[in-house]
Structure formats: C-alpha cells, structure tokens
Amino acid sequence: MDTLKIDIVSDVVCPWCVIGFRNLKKAMYELQSELNFDISWKPYELHPEIPQEGYDKKLYMQQKFGSSSGRSPYNEITKIGESVGFEFNFSKTERIPNTFMAHRLLWKAEQCDLQTELSEALFEAYFSDGLNIGSKQILAQISESVGMDKKEIINFLDSKEGGQEIADLEMNFIEKSIGAVPTYFINEKYIIQGGQEPETFVSFLRKIIQKENAANQ
C-alpha cells in the first residue's frame, strides 16, 4: 500500500488549522483501505511579535477590529467547528500566547511519536478550555495527558533545546513564501492550503497517488 508523507504547517492558535485537520482526518479515514499516511507537524507563528508572557486578548481584538459591537469574527468559525465536531469557546480565552514554546514541545513530541496527539490536545486546551498554552506548567500538564513524562518536559522547556531547530524550520517556510496556515506539503512537493472540505482532500490525495504511480512506471 502506498504511503503519503504529509507535513502540516500549523500554529496552535489557528482555528482553521483545527478545522483543516478535522477534515483531513475524515479524508484519511475514507482512504484508509487505499493509503497509509505519515503525518508530521511543522511550526508557524501567527503572532511572533507577541511577548513571551502573552498579550491581553480583549486589548488585541480592540486594536485589530476596533471597539464596535458588531458581529464577532469568531461566529462563523464556531459554527464550522460544530460541523466538524470541535467546540470553540472563544469567550474562555483571556490571553493570546506566544507559541514558540509550544512549537518546541511539538518538536520534542515527534521524537516519541506523540506529535499528533499533542497537537490535538493543544488545540482543545486553547480553543475549548481557554487555557494559557504559553505557560510552561500548562504545557507540561498537557504533555503529561498524552503520555509524555512531565518532569522531563519541564526540564526540556527550561532549556533551549529545539529552539534553533524551530527557528530554522520557520525560516525555511518563509523562504518558500508560506504566508498562511494551515499549509499541507504532500511528499514534500505538492501543496494544498486552508481548511478544505474532506472531499477536496480525498480528491487531491488520490490525484497525487495517480501522478506518483504514473511517474514510476
């Protein structure tokens, strides 16, 4: 059975990354009798300017969208989240975190094959539970919930390990002109972006396999 390598360029505070992955999972389930998948998560910071301690969300939203009492920019996302089985509770989120440390943790999780589990746990912690995923203690608790060693993770987060690797990966995507997430690299040469519908993913992945098989004949 053919295997597709899928690198997901994502940020843990990106709601469309949640929606996109939920739909990708549906597509992979539909294709499970045809394909195997090798998933890897890659870092992208939507708000690299956010200080390490995070930023007050209400203040940030006022600065970005103004103080009008118009329709919330999150209403549509909340409804789409419901359609893919994910609960967005934007009202619970008080701070926008700096996500560099979370990306370092995801880099570490890949070494013990827990990267996808951790990504989904981080999405839920931030968007559903309103937790501050810029906090070392919160990150350690989340990592423990997916099977990582909490003491080891605290020591890891207190170090600088993985920092240069994350910076290098982010620079690589900047050089590739990746300016939006989610972005999916398939077999390191095919690209699809955004919170696509499951059927779009299915069609795209099947076309890749057909193209790859034709090239190998």
Q: Taking the CA atoms of 145, 127, 180 and 46 in sequence, report the sign of the dihedral they define.
A: negative
Considering only residues 41 and 74, tell me which one the structure prediction assigns the higher pLDDT: 41
pTM: 0.94
Using one digit for the tens of pLDDT, what is the confidence trace for 99-142?
999 999 999 999 999 999 999 999 999 999 999 999 999 999 99
Domain 48-178 top-level CATH class: alpha beta
Please name the residues in contact with 156: beta carbons below 8 A apart, sequence gap of 6 or more. Answer: 104, 105, 108, 162
The radius of gyration of the chain from alpha carbons, rounded to an integer in Å, stands at: 18
pLDDT of residue 68: 53
- Is the pLDDT at 69 greater than 90? The verdict is no
CA distance 174 to 188: 15
Query: Which contiguous run of DSSP H or E holds residue 10?
Result: strand 2-10
- Phi/psi of residue 7, nearest 5 degrees: -95, 120
pLDDT of residue 63: 81
Using one digit for the tens of pLDDT, what is the confidence trace for 141-195?
999 999 999 999 999 999 999 999 999 999 999 999 998 999 999 999 999 999 9
Weakest-pLDDT range from 51-65, 86-100, 159-173, 187-201 = 51-65
- Mean pLDDT for 69-96 is 88
Beta bridge partners of 36: 3
Q: What proportion of the chain, given as a percentage, has pLDDT over 70? A: 97
Sequence ranges of the domains in the chain: 48-178
- Is the pLDDT at 67 greater than 70? The verdict is no
- Whether the CB-CB separation of 202 and 31 falls below 8 Å is answered with yes
